[in-house]
């Protein structure tokens, strides 16, 4: 601002006005030429541009050099030409702020990525599944995520305590889960007693021989054992359909069998067509006159007929017995042997024709009033018996035989008992009266 000038003269008198950027001056009259006056005006304008703006003000644009008050969310120090924005994670509602101290941090549990935010409404809550324990978070990712196996539905959470553990029987592999819906139930055939599980491997599988159709099971007791007559070879079975039936010719009375070998085979002399049998009663004995030498057989055709010269008097025989000396048999599937006529004898076992019976002379012929008794005992393993038990058994047979033959025995010399490894028992009886050997046999 300039004072009066005198026109028509070669000199001009200037009176500078009071101005903040120029300072205070005493009123002085200076005589300047027009060219000097123009140079002075230019220098004054340049000096104002270099000095910048007062604190709290700045240029609105790079082209507009006019200092204006800084808006909310910004600040300016003395001499700056620009209004600086508050950093992300902060805000300020102050206009004409002179330093960064007016920029307030977003409270805990919130965040803001906006620079120069003018109000606290620019701070957003941490989303469900996340939390923030510090002020001034500058992005949503700065909110800490709940760990896998945990979840939170709260907005603006400030502590990890807000993260809830997935309940037992479930798991979750998600970080920052926003609800319990992310907790996946353990599938059928598995269970978990632990809360906060983060992997599907935390769901333990039901052991072999068991199954479970329950989702989200929390204890091993939900695993149900396969029924007797079945077995299971796969851990984590989701239903009873995974229990496999014992095959025909076998059976099992055991619950929770975990291998096919736990199905017991039907013994020799028997067979079974039943699948999933749960007791040995399913094993049917071959008829008398037949035998079956193998275990675990699955149909009746395996029962073979006894050949001529042999017989089977009992059900479920594993082998046919040869007709003893003094007898013969010419038929298949025989249950007994024919006795040679009186006075005749076969000197070897297994005779197949009556003609094999010859007059008894020499070795094998017993004195008058004597007899040879042969007894076949099925499934008697003599070799496993102790010597004491063998003696007791021979004494018991001797007593029964002498009683049956009506022989009065006190000295122990009228009967002699021998037991073979195959279970056959032979006895020689002396002192018979009133009966022939053939009569006793009949």
- pLDDT of 117-126, one tens digit each? 999 999 999 9
pLDDT tens across the length of the chain (442 residues) = 333 333 333 333 344 433 333 333 344 455 556 665 555 544 444 444 456 899 999 998 888 889 999 999 999 999 999 999 999 999 999 999 999 999 999 999 999 999 999 999 999 999 999 999 999 999 999 999 999 999 999 999 999 999 999 999 999 999 999 999 999 999 999 999 999 999 999 999 999 999 999 999 999 999 999 999 999 999 999 999 999 999 999 999 999 999 999 999 999 999 999 999 999 999 999 999 999 999 999 999 999 999 999 999 889 999 999 998 889 999 999 999 998 888 888 878 899 999 999 887 766 566 555 566 777 676 677 777 787 887 788 788 777 877 777 666 555 556 667 766 666 776 766 666 555 555 555 5
In sequence order, the 6+-apart residues with CB closer than 8 A to the CB of 424 are 321, 374, 375, 376, 377
For residue 79, give both structure tokens: 């001499």
Q: How far apart are CA 409 and CA 92, in angstroms?
A: 127
Helices assigned H by DSSP within 309-385: none
Neighbour-count burial of 433, counting CB atoms closer than 10 A to its CB (0-12 exposed, 13-18 middle, 19+ buried): exposed
Neighbour-count burial of 110, counting CB atoms closer than 10 A to its CB (0-12 exposed, 13-18 middle, 19+ buried): buried
The residue among 211, 205, 214, 216 whose CA lies nearest residue 240 is 211
Looking up tokens 């702020």, which residue turns up?
Answer: 97
CA angle 342, 347, 350 (to 5 degrees): 100
CA angle 177, 179, 184 (to 5 degrees): 80
Q: How far apart are CA 232 and CA 253, in angstroms?
A: 14
Q: What is the dihedral of CA 19, 23, 27, 28, to 10 degrees?
A: -110
Check: CB of residue 338 under 8 Å from CB of residue 353: no
Looking up tokens 């950093």, which residue turns up?
Answer: 87
Q: How far apart are CA 248 and CA 300, in angstroms?
A: 12
Which pLDDT score is estimated for 348? 85
Q: Which residues pair with 165 in a beta bridge?
A: 150
**In terms of pTM, does the model score above 0.75?**
no
């Amino acid at each position: 601002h300039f004072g009066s000038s005198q026109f028509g003269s070669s000199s001009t008198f200037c009176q500078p006005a009071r101005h903040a950027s120029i300072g205070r001056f005493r009123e002085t009259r200076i005589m300047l030429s027009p060219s000097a006056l123009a140079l002075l005006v230019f220098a004054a304008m340049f000096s104002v541009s270099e000095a910048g703006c007062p604190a709290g003000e700045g240029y609105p644009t790079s082209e507009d050099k006019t200092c204006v008050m800084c808006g909310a969310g910004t600040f300016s120090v003395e001499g700056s030409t620009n209004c600086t924005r508050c950093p992300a994670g902060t805000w300020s509602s102050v206009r004409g702020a002179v330093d960064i101290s007016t920029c307030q941090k977003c409270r805990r549990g919130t965040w803001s990525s906006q620079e120069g935010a003018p109000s606290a409404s620019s701070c957003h809550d941490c989303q469900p599944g996340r939390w923030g324990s510090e002020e001034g978070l500058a992005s949503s990712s700065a909110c800490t995520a709940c760990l896998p196996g945990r979840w939170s539905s709260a907005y603006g959470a400030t502590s990890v305590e807000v993260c809830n553990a997935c309940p037992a029987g479930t798991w979750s592999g998600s970080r920052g889960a926003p609800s319990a819906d992310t907790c996946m139930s353990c599938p059928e055939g598995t269970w978990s007693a632990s809360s906060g599980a983060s992997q599907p491997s935390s769901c333990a599988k039901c052991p072999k021989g068991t199954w479970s159709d329950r989702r989200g099971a929390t204890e091993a007791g939900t695993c149900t054992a396969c029924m007797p007559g079945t077995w299971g070879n796969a851990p984590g079975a989701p239903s009873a359909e995974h229990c496999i039936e014992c095959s025909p010719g076998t059976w099992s009375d055991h619950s929770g069998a975990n291998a096919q070998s736990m199905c017991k085979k039907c013994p020799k002399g028997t067979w079974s067509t039943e699948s999933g049998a749960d007791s040995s009663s399913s094993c049917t004995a071959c008829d008398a006159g037949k035998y079956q030498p193998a275990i675990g057989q699955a149909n009746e055709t395996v029962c073979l007929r006894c050949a001529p010269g042999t017989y089977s008097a009992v059900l479920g025989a594993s082998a046919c017995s040869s007709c003893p000396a003094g007898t013969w048999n010419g038929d298949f599937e025989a249950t007994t042997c024919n006795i040679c006529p009186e006075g005749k004898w076969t000197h070897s076992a297994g005779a197949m024709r009556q003609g094999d019976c010859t007059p008894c002379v020499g070795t094998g012929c017993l004195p008058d009033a004597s007899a040879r008794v042969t007894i076949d005992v099925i499934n008697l393993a003599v070799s496993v018996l102790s010597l004491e038990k063998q003696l007791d058994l021979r004494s018991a047979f001797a007593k029964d035989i002498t009683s049956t033959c009506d022989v009065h025995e006190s000295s122990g010399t009228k009967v002699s008992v021998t037991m073979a490894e195959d279970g056959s028992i032979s006895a020689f009886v002396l002192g018979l009266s009133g009966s022939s050997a053939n009569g006793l046999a009949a």
